[in-house]
Chains A and B, each alone.
Chain A
Amino acid sequence: MSKQIRAVSLISGGLDSMLATKAIMEQGVHVEGINFFTGFCVEGHTHAIRKKDKDKPKRNNSLWVAETLGIKLHIIDIIEEYKDVLINPKHGYGANMNPCLDCKVFMVKKAKQWMEENDFDFIITGEVMGQRPMSQRRETMPIISAESGADDRLVRPLCAQSLPATLPEREGWIHRDQLFDFSGRGRKPQMALANEYGFTDYSQPAGGCCFLTDESYSNKLVDLWKSRGTKEYDLDDVMLLKVGRHIRPNRDFKVIVAREDGEARFMQGYKKSFINMNCASHKGPLALIEGDPSAEDLHLAAQIVARYGQGRDAEEVDVMVRDMSGNESILQVKPLGVDELPKEWFI
């Protein structure tokens, strides 16, 4: 009896990896999915923190894709290992702090490790030549194969016909004529194939799957590094950069002001890790104070926080300040006027 050939597929939750996986499953290969969590993934429910997004489906698209395809999905936490990819990218950054090429190499390398540990035979990705300006170009395809160590065990079903034959094709595990030659940024071939496979509901591409491609997020990350004088970060930093208004009056401290109830509820969990404050005499948002503020800085922070409460037009308001031990004190401040909050303070 011949051995059942097994492949591991990098599942992002988007359409391309879904189609690439299906194309290989159609050839009788047993496929299981793998999804890497860097901390910067847009996938997941980070957006669900905000109330305004409450009507969006809360599903995790990689899980949904796996369930639709009927395959297992292994979600791997690579937060710690990913730091080196982000801080020291060999191939540099894209338009923002996105180290896309290094990221792809790293993920394929991790998939190769998983493949070997679990006795699988090859790796599938949903890459399409020319689709992404940094990581999915003709020149970068061989770099990813070589630097990841996956070499000819890396199959890109959606553009395989435009690439040299891989080991699974040469061995006859899969048939090249049942793979594709998609290229460029157009989505029509993918949508036609989705239709052929009967996929009517799939995640639409909307600005990528990583916060690091987002300019605003990247600016906040760079600001965090500059203020600390080091590029170190932890998961809480990554998460907090996704919520609230970030206002930095000086290098010593930053104020993170919740924009709505959902964010405030999420930020409540950080009250033991940060000095925090909210207006006591009027309704107003929760704010976390990050850094090493002086008494003067705390007074300014309270004025900023008061600016976002219902007492913004009052002569004076009471702001409750809590230290990390939960000790409370009241600061009486005049809320900053709109023209007293310089644009340069907003990160």
Chain B
Amino acid sequence: MSQFELDARRLLCPLPVIRTQDKIKTLAVGDVLVVTCTDPGVMQDIPAWSRINGHKVLSTESGEYEFVITIEVGE
């Protein structure tokens, strides 16, 4: 199990979701991906995308300008 990071700052949804989706395709089950974004919409969209595609959101953090979502890759 490894941890990876994805910089999705300055992108508006759905691009952070697409980048997350494309990155996760390259990872193995159990890997962890930390996604950093600036569009507050990701707080809704990335967890929604993760739920419907079988991945687990481990945590979400809201800053003033940045939002960080940590995902564990599922089956």
Contact = CB atoms under 8 A, between A and B. Distances in A.
Interface of A: 35, 37, 41, 43-46, 48-49, 58-60, 62-64, 66-67, 70-77, 239, 265, 269
B49 A45 contact: no
A37 B45 contact: no
B48 A77 contact: no
Contact of B10 (A46, A48, A62, A269): A269
Interface of B: 9-10, 12-15, 17-18, 21-22, 38-41, 43-45, 48-49, 51-53, 65
B17 A75 contact: yes
Given A37-B18, A74-B21, A64 B12 contact: no
Given A37-B18, A48-B41, A73 B52 contact: yes
Contacts of A45: 12-13, 39-41, 45
Nearest to B48: A63
B41 A73 contact: no
B12 A73 contact: no
Contacts of B48: 59-60, 63-64, 67
Contacts of B39: 45, 48
A90 to B, nearest CB: 27
Given A45-B13, A59-B48, A63-B48, A75 B21 contact: yes
A66 B15 contact: no
B11 to A, nearest CB: 9
Nearest to A49: B12
A196 to B, nearest CB: 23
